[in-house]
């Protein structure tokens, strides 16, 4: 039986890293795209990533950014999360493994994407909102995710403690990813919400295991 992994994204403060690690998060996300209210720069990434203990994955969130910047960030990261329109070739051109985020716009072909991004460690599925690359706080129709996709699925988009059990039972994802659902304000996490979220995930098993 496999538990559902958890990534907490959009961390900007040491105390939030500590809270996420203490609650049992598997991965922590740092938004490196300057258009986000949760953005941090490379100097801050260096400080925050040094706080993360062994066996917790440090993930850098990128949206169609300059290659030299991405490679410089890799020094402080374990995994890249490409959240823009990056091609497979771009995603594979850096010194870290990657996951590819796909926004669930009308007509998106997840099976084709799983094949195209063949070296991705997982596909992260997020809600689609025109003009916004992610972090919208909105859910999408989880029934659109095909069973037995050729890549592990990381479910994102509008998750919080009150809907994550339902999401896990519906989708059976490898992992869930949350940002806004554990915040007091953009970039400011709430330890009680992180605890609650982790508690809900860790006490749920996907329907395929029931």
Ligand X SMILES: O=C(O)c1ccccc1N[C@@H]1O[C@H](COP(=O)(O)O)[C@@H](O)[C@H]1O
- The answer to whether 20 and 11 are in contact (CB under 8 A) is yes
109 belongs to the catalytic site: no
* Rounded Cα–Cα distance for residues 166 and 70 (Å): 35
- The answer to whether 182 and 7 are in contact (CB under 8 A) is no
**Segment lying near ligand X (by CB under 6 A), choices 12-20, 30-38, 46-54, 70-78:** 30-38
* Rounded Cα–Cα distance for residues 137 and 126 (Å): 9
122 binds ligand X per the rule CB under 6 A: no
Q: Which is nearer to ligand X, 21 or 122 (CB)?
A: 122
From 16, 91, 126, 196, active-site residue: 126
Among 179, 196, 198, 204, binds ligand X (CB under 6 A): 179
196 binds ligand X per the rule CB under 6 A: no
63 binds ligand X per the rule CB under 6 A: yes
Among 91, 175, 176, 178, binds ligand X (CB under 6 A): 178
Q: Extract the tokens encoding 39.
A: 């953005």
30 binds ligand X per the rule CB under 6 A: no
* Rounded Cα–Cα distance for residues 98 and 171 (Å): 22
91 belongs to the catalytic site: no
CB of 173 to ligand X, least distance (A): 12
173 binds ligand X per the rule CB under 6 A: no
* Rounded Cα–Cα distance for residues 181 and 134 (Å): 13
* Residue whose token pair is 């720069």: 41
CB of 15 to ligand X, least distance (A): 19
- The answer to whether 160 and 178 are in contact (CB under 8 A) is yes
Q: So which residues are the catalytic ones? A: 9, 126
């Amino acid at each position: 039986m496999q538990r559902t992994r958890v990534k907490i994204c959009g961390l900007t403060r040491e105390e939030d890293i500590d809270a996420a690690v203490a609650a049992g998060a598997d991965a922590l996300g740092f938004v490196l795209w300057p258009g986000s209210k949760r953005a941090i720069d490379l100097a801050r990434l260096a400080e925050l990533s040094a706080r993360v203990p062994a066996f917790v994955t440090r993930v850098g969130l990128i949206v169609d950014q300059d290659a030299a910047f991405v490679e410089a960030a890799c020094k402080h990261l374990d995994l890249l999360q490409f959240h823009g329109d990056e091609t497979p070739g771009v995603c594979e051109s850096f010194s870290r493994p990657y996951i590819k985020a796909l926004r669930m716009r009308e007509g998106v072909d997840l099976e084709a994407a799983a094949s195209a991004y063949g070296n991705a460690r997982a596909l992260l599925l997020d809600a689609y909102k025109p003009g916004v690359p992610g972090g919208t706080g909105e859910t999408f129709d989880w029934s659109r995710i095909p069973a037995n996709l050729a890549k592990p699925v990381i479910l994102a988009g509008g998750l919080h403690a009150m809907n994550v059990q339902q999401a896990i039972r519906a989708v059976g994802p490898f992992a869930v990813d949350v940002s806004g659902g554990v915040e007091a304000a953009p970039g400011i996490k709430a330890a009680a919400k992180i605890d609650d979220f982790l508690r809900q995930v860790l006490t749920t098993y996907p329907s395929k295991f029931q």
